């Protein structure tokens, strides 16, 4: 059995292979890797109420576990999970409507746009993981934590006058990493 750290460094194709061989820790790693993604589709793309989103989330991973053998290309895990989540959300909304609950089917175009945004966010996060620790930290501090050049300079010990250029260089690296990752894949 592989250590958890080693599992987290596996790419999707290798992780799917290990899940198929019955490795329970690999399955937990798969769920952990994609739980935020699946939940984001339920909440942001389909606007499910929290309780329904949690039920749908459970169903998605139950279906994924049952159907993983049918995934031909393990590297297409993310789009495959997106499609599975989409179908599961629609099933939940239809079941709610049949049961008389107020359920509104979201506009397909809006769902597509939200899915694209979620995919982009995931790709940016994954690209961030490929950067050096310094670059990750400087980008996180400026763009996510809204820290000023001076605060960043004080914490990281970098001359204040070079912070803007450093951020630009790190963004350029992030862009390259992102473009390297964002080749579109079709679910298999």
In whole angstroms, how close is the CB of 135 to another protein at the nearest point?
A: 12
d(Cα 100, Cα 69) in Å, to the nearest integer? 36
Residues 112-151 that bind another protein (CB under 8 A): 142-143, 146, 148-150
Binding test (CB under 8 A) with another protein, winner from 171, 181, 182, 185: 171
User: How far apart are alpha carbons 116 and 18 in whole angstroms?
Assistant: 29
Q: Which is nearer to another protein, 125 or 150 (CB)?
A: 150
Nearest CB to another protein, comparing residues 95 and 160: 160
Contact with another protein (CB under 8 A): which of 36, 50, 125, 175? 175
Tokens coding 13: 């194709």
In the complex, the smallest distance separating the C-beta of residue 36 from another protein, rounded to whole angstroms, is 23
Q: Give the closest residue to 159 by CA, choosing from 149, 144, 147, 169.
A: 149
CA-CA distance, 53 to 59, in Å (whole number)? 10
Reduce the DSSP state of residue 147 to 3 states and report it. Answer: coil
| Interacting span for another protein (CB under 8 A) from 36-44, 78-86, 120-128, 164-172 | 164-172
In the complex, the smallest distance separating the C-beta of residue 169 from another protein, rounded to whole angstroms, is 7
* Secondary-structure percent of the chain, ordered helix, strand, coil, rounded to 5: 80, 0, 20
To the nearest 10°, the Cα dihedral for 90, 96, 97, 100? 180
CB of residue 128 to another protein, shortest distance in Å? 14
Nearer to another protein, 40 or 163 (CB): 163
Can you tell me which of 21, 70, 102, 165 binds another protein, judged by CB under 8 A? Answer: 165
- Of 97 and 179, the one with the shorter C-beta distance to another protein is 179
User: Closest approach of Cβ 146 to another protein, in Å?
Assistant: 6
How far is CA 3 from each of CA 6, 18, 64, 82, rounded to the nearest angstrom? 5, 13, 23, 28
Rounded to a whole number of angstroms, the minimum distance from the CB of residue 157 to another protein is 18
The answer to whether 39 and 57 are in contact (CB under 8 A) is yes
- Residues near another protein, by CB under 8 A: 142-143, 146, 148-150, 160-161, 164-165, 167-172, 175
């Amino acid at each position: 059995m592989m250590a958890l750290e080693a599992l987290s460094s596996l790419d999707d194709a290798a992780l799917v292979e290990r899940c198929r061989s019955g490795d329970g820790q690999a399955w937990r790693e798969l769920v952990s890797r994609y739980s935020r993604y699946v939940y984001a589709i339920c909440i942001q793309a389909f606007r499910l109420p929290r309780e329904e989103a949690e039920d749908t989330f459970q169903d998605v991973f139950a279906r994924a576990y049952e159907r993983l053998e049918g995934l031909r290309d393990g590297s297409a895990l993310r789009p495959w999970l997106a499609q599975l989540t989409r179908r599961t959300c629609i099933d939940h909304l239809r079941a709610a409507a049949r049961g008389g609950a107020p359920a509104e089917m979201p506009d397909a175009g809006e769902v597509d746009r939200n899915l694209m945004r979620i995919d982009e966010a995931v790709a940016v996060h994954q690209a961030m993981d490929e950067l050096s620790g310094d670059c990750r930290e400087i980008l996180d501090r400026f763009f996510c934590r809204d820290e000023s050049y001076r605060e960043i300079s004080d914490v990281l010990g970098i001359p204040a006058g070079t912070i803007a250029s450093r951020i630009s260089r790190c963004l350029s690296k992030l862009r390259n990493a992102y473009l390297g990752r964002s080749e579109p894949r079709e679910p298999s």
